[in-house]
Structure 1
Amino acid sequence: MDIVRRNNVTVTGNPQGRVVVLAHGFGCDQNMWRLTVPALAEDHQVVLFDYVGSGRSEPSAFSAERYASLDGYARDVLEVCEALDLRDAVFVGHSVSAMIGVLAAGLAPERIGALVMVAPSPRYIDDDGYRGGFSAEDIEELLDSLESNYLGWSAAMAPVIMGNAERPQLGEELKNSFCATDPDMARVFARTTFLSDSREDLKKVAVPTLVLECTQDVIAPREVGAFVHRAVPGSTLVTLDATGHCPHLSAPEATNQAITAFLADLR
């Protein structure tokens, strides 16, 4: 299958600039980056895509077996990079995509030369000496609710994940994005996301890395950002003046400024 069509790949911006790949999180699609693209497009070539099972990707390409682990999504990333012959790209991953980027960079370091992690979490479940923000029971309850009534889960959880209750339109947008995702495919991605543990993979990162966290984030609390920063050798941690789990929507100016400053330092 044609990868560009399979993953609904979009290429925009300056073809002479360094390539920046923008990768969305669970339940979202590339449209979630629309407030970031203009800040990057003048100086960088920007690549956007939808993971198989999300957005306007090709649904017939979905495989529950392939996407039962983050490796399957990392293969999506690398196949997009190969199809476009991308080298030394900067991979900007939101939420679970930050860990997908870590895996992709490890598998093909010639393709990905730097990472930007937006509200990352290597493990959502608390562990001895580690706070992920959720107990194992919390996550099982979340997954049971999602699997039994996906639309109801989306309506209830989107505003919580987005935060910024004073701007309900943001939560509504995230809810609509969740609801536009095929429930069966979303269930697979959710289980893969919330049961993942990428903590050991962080230690192997060998490229410049920016970690962006928010002041308040129910999905990835500040302790998680600090953990990621400590685990990734030489990484930079920036705490955005933003709340919620989607700062590229709720605080695009602060998010874009942090990303563009990091990109400028890479030159």
Structure 2
Amino acid sequence: MTGAGTNHSKESLEGGPAIILVRPQLAVNIGMCARAMANFGLSDLRLVSPREGWPRTGALKKGAYAAAAGAVHLLEKAKLYDSVEAAVADLNYLFATTARERGQFKPILTPSEAMPPAAARIAAGERHGILFGPERTGLDNDDIALADAIITFPVNPAYASLNLAQAVLLTGYEWMRATSGDVKPFAPVERSPAASREMALSFFNFLEAELERAGFFRPVTKKPVMQRNLRNMFHRMQLTEQDVRTWWGMIVRLVEGPRADAKKTMAADQSDSDPLE
């Protein structure tokens, strides 16, 4: 199953630091991590001694692949290791993620601090990786001792535990920001140009004339203030040409009543629902 935002016609981003899941406990969490990686263009998934083995068959595979939601290509390419040392042997720089201070005198960074320099060094040819620990206990001190720096997350200090895939997602988001900036993936489609002042004023004159005829501006002494308030209300909308045409048409119909063809349709509908027929 793929999500609504999946578009296979577009080029998929790849690269970034290796995501190394150390002794992950649940196959479904591995699948969710793969999905988070795909969201942000990370493509190197490494697994160290998964508790349930690497689920390539049966119910465990089904659960992991369903949770990946279209990112199964990352699960298919995932590399399996027996030790953390083997999983990180080819890397030049290693981060370890943890929610608590470990007293190892390493640089402590948030993802937003860690990813920009990592992006620059990876672009220069280095290979980086990020360790994520088991869901229940996190990385142990020996795992963290292998790392050059620690990544931690600015969270509620009374509830600092993150789901494994959430931690990967937050790091991946900062990786994307570091490599692509805060560029929005799409922009609003402007279907109509902004209304000219002449067009807006013509509409205001028409609207105010109809409101005057209906007795809206009462008491008369407040008419200038009411007119200004109405005009400012519409100006805040930043009216387009289509907006003005739509408002104008709505008010015409309210003033003049239904068109002739609409009256016939209404009469037919009422006849069809007549219980005496």
TM-score of the superposition, structure 1-length normalised?
A: 0.30
Question: Which has more radius of gyration?
Answer: 2
TM-score of the superposition, structure 2-length normalised?
A: 0.29
